[in-house]
Structure 1
Amino acid sequence: MAYDVLIRGGQVVQPEGIAVADIAIADGQIVAVEPEISGAVREEIDARGLVVFPGVIDIHVHFNEPGRTTWEGLRTGSRAFAAGGGTLFADMPLNSIPPVLDGAAFHVKQQAAEAQSVVDFALWGGLTPRNLDRLEELAEVGVIGLKAFLADSGVEEFPAADDYTLYEGMRRAAQLQLLVAVHAENATLVRRLAEAALREGHHSARAYLRSRPIIAELEAIQRALLFAEETGCALHIVHVTVARGVLLAWEARQRGVDVSIETCPHYLLFTEDDLERLGPVLKCAPPIRSAAEQRALWQALLRGQIDLIASDHSPSPPELKQSTDFFAAWGGINGVQFTLPAMVTAGVLEHGLPLTQLARLLAARPAERFRFAGRGQLRPGNLADLTLLVVGEPWCPRPAESFSRYPLSPYLGRQFQARVQRTIVRGQTVYVDGRIVREGGGQLVRPQRHG
């Protein structure tokens, strides 16, 4: 048999385990994973000594195009993602102008991504008080779900969902078989605490942390769970920072609530002390937590209580991160290029997380939850989305190695024990040895419909 690509002798990570094997690719699909494969081939890749990992699926990025393209953009954001082993991202509906609140805005972003992205992409729609009458339209064009902020989003074009909007939006989403994702923080509590801090002249990192306490996150998680249980809506809780929030969702799942739980690498790698040391480059919302809370979050992850890991990549121009007023600095972290190296290093090598479990967190489970058919696992019949990893060699990323528009990230200068050597999307190499080797080519992925 003739193949387009043959990957030789890598340590292939599959759900059932890791084995040295060849992977044969034809017409963009994996056609065989076997100890030794023979046949004619157009391109042979030597993967001996490398880990062959499923392409990362990141369901939570902000690439800000159109409208705020100078903050990142689909070209630079997708290139950074590819350099980090990524093959499919889902762009959030806000930060771009217009936000994705209707079908027309969806198509504008789709066209921009098809022209700019080097990897495949999916798109979120928004759930705000402004577009309750457009949810069916968003379902028809192919959003993977609806994103609602329960606190201020940080941009005026995307207002927070009040309780009526959340309840009514979930009710309609359940009818449309659309998942709803929530940024879970109590709006009144965080706003009033921030106002009090600023009124008293407090502008430090610690003051910011005190203004977004854990209870604000827990209350909002619980409220979203109750609404989901009442309406029958599938719920996804983004960037959970504490194990107590994971437990609330886990308990609701035992009652039959259809809920999935996401956390991010920055909550697993950095603590409040790092926030004070590094400054606004590490500012996000919900904020980085204490070392004790981080340890508990790791335990929840290792117990298998967290569904997936996403970057919540949300960069900005450097001047928005340089304010001496911590409250005024933009709250978003540049991390999409470093999720996989960070999680192999901190998760697999330092905490004993099996590579197979990491592959589920970064690829298989996102594909399953968001109905990306034929993706997320290195199996015959699936699309050939994969990355080759060097594991066990120190790597300390420098600003010059960042593909993001602005090399401003808390991960730069941090030492990892893993790096991406090559990224392949639908059988085509996109990134290899520090270079992006194709422009464009990304395709829109819509969720597989039920029934």
Structure 2
Amino acid sequence: MDELLIRGGKIVQSGSVLEADLAISQGRIVEMGAELSADGRMELDATGLHLFPGVVDMHVHFNEPGRTDWEGLATGSRALIAGGGTTFADMPLNSHPPVLDAATFNAKREAAERQSHADFALWGGLTPESLDNLPELAEAGVIGFKAFMSNSGIAEFTSPDDLTLYQGMQKARALGLTVALHAESENITSGLSRRIRAAGRSGVRDYLESRPAIAEIEAVNRALLLAEETGASIHLVHLSTGRAVTLAAEARQRGVNVSVETCPHYLMFTGEDMERLGAVLKCAPPLRGADEVAALWQAIQAGMIDIIGSDHSPSTLDLKQRGDFFEVWGGVAGVQSTLAVLLTEGQAQGLTLPQIAHLLSQNPAERFGLTGKGKLDIGADADIAFVELDTEWTHTENELQTRWKFSPYIGQTFRGKVRRTMLRGQTVYDEGKFLSPPQGRLLKPSAT
């Protein structure tokens, strides 16, 4: 199907929804308009469906090589595809060994080329041990460098002190790449955790108290100061508080090169939900109160949040089934549900379909220089999610494509169902069936 004409769909573009035909040749969009001539192309009827650009998820942990029993590139990418995604960027820390040099980058790249159903980019790590390796990681093709300002939970992926982070930002700027930051204060979170646990407290509410909002706000402020001083490009991942987002917006007005990400679970669930559902919602930063959820939605509407990524981070069930909540693995399995959350909760909050496409596809592709990705325009890759917008459905365990059927979205009712996903003009998913072997390609950043 190198030559294809999609008829009758509603194409979600930047600023508008266009009811038109869409022509594809050699994996790219070549023409859009009313009643296009077939010209010998195969035809596909998309009447009643909205065509979204494939989701570009810049924040997943597929944990391969080394921890494939936690997830794996095959199962993780299948879940992404089933949820309307076509591109992901895998974080460096949960694979074993983590991506800290060219050799570990190449090992992950080779695994992804064999097994990924979606196109992919790879993050490299910024740790004290990898500081001198940043140039070789850039040469290998990383999308940017990930650093933790608190304990990562992975012993071999250590957090940089402020000097190392400052030097890493200097190097990243010289290399033309972005530093992604998990911004929580190690001093605050570890200090509170020690005190709380020393008092014999180990429940969900105790964990929530150990990671207060100020831990995120303080770390974000420090990261912004370092970025302003070095001129580095930074990306603040999974922000959970409106005040931290506001700090980033104010810094951007001063000229700091910063982008902001939040995640669907911070927009849909609260700390009370974590107390009710338990380990399936444990994450760091933790879920907040309803006031912070409202503040994040307001920030999205104000254009202060650029990107929504899943931060998909599953583990084996034994790591989720521990009596001490501090010992439970912190990660939410949600890569398959991001578009569903935005179509349901986002539209309820007043987001338009083009705004949703910007947050999930166009903004991440443009921010990280993924040429041809993230929008349905002439010349772009034909990465398309076909969505039946008015269909109401409940997420079941049977539909979940991840290795472990352990997600807070099971049992949730959504509006808007992905019926088909195309990658570069090829249907890879259709009505619950996967129609092609893995064909993912490595994406390297172009100049942004």
How many residues are aligned here? 448
Once the 2 structures are TM-superposed, how far is the Cα of residue 324 of structure 1 from its aligned partner? 2.1
Report matched runs for 1:115-264 at 5 Å: 115-264=114-263
What secondary structure is seen at the aligned counterpart in 2 of 1:335? coil
**Deviation digits for residues 198-219 of structure 1 (CA, Å, limit 9, x no counterpart):** 1111111110000000000000
Cα distance in 2, alignment partners of residues 132 and 345 from structure 1: 42
CA RMSD of aligned residues (A): 1.0
Aligned-partner SS, 2:80: helix
Alignment correspondent of 2:404: 406
Task: Report the Cα distance in structure 1 between the residues aligned to 2:15 and 2:167, rounded to whole angstroms.
Answer: 41
Partner secondary structure for residue 40 of structure 1: coil
Match of 2:432 in 1: 434
- SS where residue 209 of structure 2 aligns? helix
Indicate if the aligned counterparts of 2:2 and 2:425 stay in contact, CA closer than 8 A: no
Asked whether the 8 Å contact 2:397–2:410 carries over to 1, the reply is: yes
The Cα offsets for residues 135-190 of structure 1, whole Å up to 9 and x where unpaired, read as 11011111010000000001101001111110010011111111101000000110
Deviation at 1:310, TM superposition (A): 0.2
1:43 CA drift (Å): 3.2
CA drift at 1:422: 0.5
* AA matched with 2:195: A
Deviations 1:299-352 (A, max 9, x none): 11111110010000000111111112111100000000000011100001x111
Q: Report what 1:354 is aligned to.
A: 352
Distance change in 2, residues 1:219/1:389 (3 Å)? same
Q: Is the 1:6–1:41 Cα contact (8 Å) retained in structure 2?
A: no
Shift of 1:42: 4.6
- C-alpha distance in 1, partners of 2:202/2:78? 35
Matched residue type, 1:207? D
Q: Distance in 1 between matches of 2:341 and 2:156?
A: 33
- Structure 2 CA distance for aligned equivalents of residues 291 and 114 of structure 1: 41
CA change 1:41–1:208 in 2 (3 A) is farther
Query: Structure 1 residues 191, 41: closer, same or farther in 2, change over 3 A?
Result: farther
Partner of 1:326: 325
2:5–2:38 CA contact under 8 A, matched in 1? no
Alpha-carbon contact 2:9-2:47 (below 8 Å) kept = yes
- TM-score, structure 1 as length reference: 0.98
Aligned to 2:374: 376
TM-superposition CA deviations, 1:401-428 (whole Å, max 9, x none): 1100011000010000111101100011
3-state DSSP class of the match of 1:121? strand
Q: Deviations over 1:75-127 (max 9, x none)?
A: 00000000000111000001001111000100000000000001100000000
CA drift of 1:3 comes to: 6.5
Letter in 1 for 2:55: V
After superposing on structure 2, the runs of 4+ consecutive aligned residues of structure 1 that deviate more than 3 Å are: 40-43
Instruction: State TM-score, norm by structure 2.
Output: 0.99
Q: Against the structure 1 CA distance between its residues 205 and 380, is the aligned structure 2 distance closer, same or farther, given a 3 Å change threshold?
A: same
Report Cα offsets for 1:237-261 as digits up to 9, x if no partner.
0000011111000000010000000
**Shift of the alpha carbon at 1:35?**
1.6
CA distance in 2, matches of 1:376, 1:449: 16
Q: Within 1, Cα distance between the matches of 2:51 and 2:58? A: 21
Q: What is the CA deviation profile of residues 40-82 of structure 1, one whole-angstrom value per residue up to 9, with x for unaligned ones?
A: 3453221111110000000000000000000000000000000
One of 372, 394, 397 as aligned partner of 1:396: 394
**Structure 1 equivalent of residue 67 of structure 2:** 68
Q: Could you say which residue in structure 2 is the equivalent of 1:43?
A: 42
Per-residue deviation, 1:197: 1.0
Contact 1:27 1:427 in 2 (8 A): yes
- Distance in 1, matches of 2:127 and 2:2, equals 48
1:284/1:332 contact within 8 Å kept: yes
Shift of 1:220: 0.3
Letter paired with 1:15 = S
CA distance in structure 2 between the aligned counterparts of 1:41 and 1:203, rounded to whole angstroms: 66
Q: Deviations over 1:346-388 (max 9, x none)?
A: 001x111011011000111101100011111100111101110
Q: CA deviation at 1:389?
A: 0.4
- Residue 90 (str. 1) matches residue 89 (str. 2): yes
Q: Contact between 1:3 and 1:39, CA under 8 Å: does it hold in 2?
A: no
- What is the DSSP-based 3-state SS (H/G/I as helix, E as strand, rest coil) of the residue aligned with 1:327? helix
User: Does structure 1 retain, via aligned residues, the 8 Å contact 2:151–2:186?
Assistant: yes
Aligned-partner Cα distance in 2 for 1:41–1:177: 44
Match of 1:424 in 2: 422
Range that drifts further, 52-61 or 170-179: 170-179
Do the aligned partners of residues 41 and 118 (structure 1) sit closer, same or farther apart at CA in structure 2, a change above 3 Å counting? Answer: farther
